[in-house]
Amino acid sequence: MVEILKKDGIGSALVSAGGSSIYCLGTPPGKPGWRIWIKDSGEEFQAADEVTLKDDSVIAPHTLDSEVWAKPYFIPGRQWTAAHKPANFRVFYCDQRNLRKDKADQQCAWLQ
């Protein structure tokens, strides 16, 4: 979809494929990027974090990459994910076993 938009001369768009796959093309008018909230898996109407994106999928250069890698990152765990993610991927990792109502008990962080 993004390639079609680019080909047709569209330079600014937010493309969402159901919420988990998002691509932010360019920026909205007068803004540095698209503000995207990462859903808190422990609270239905809360954000775990916010990120500003420009020419990114959440959060890999292509939405297909982020879809393909989403589950494999969470199955082997945080350390494996940090060691094996491509350098151009940003991963916001939450340990499912630690999710509780108390936010202080949640182990969510951006992996470097």
pLDDT 10s digits, 21-50 = 788 889 999 999 999 887 776 777 888 788
Read off the pLDDT of residues 53-96 as tens digits, 9 standing for 90 and up. 888 675 666 767 777 777 777 778 888 888 888 888 878 777 65
Residue with tokens 């569209």: 10
Give me the number of domains the chain comprises.
Answer: 1
Is residue 65 within 8 A of residue 89, CB to CB? The reply is yes
According to DSSP, residue 40 is labeled P
Q: Which pTM value belongs to this model?
A: 0.58
User: What is the domain extent for residue 17?
Assistant: 2-111
Half-sphere exposure of 103 (CA within 13 A, CB side): 7
Strand residue runs (E) in the chain: 13-16, 22-25, 34-39, 47-53, 56-57, 91-94, 108-111
Phi, psi of 106, deg, nearest 5: -80, 135
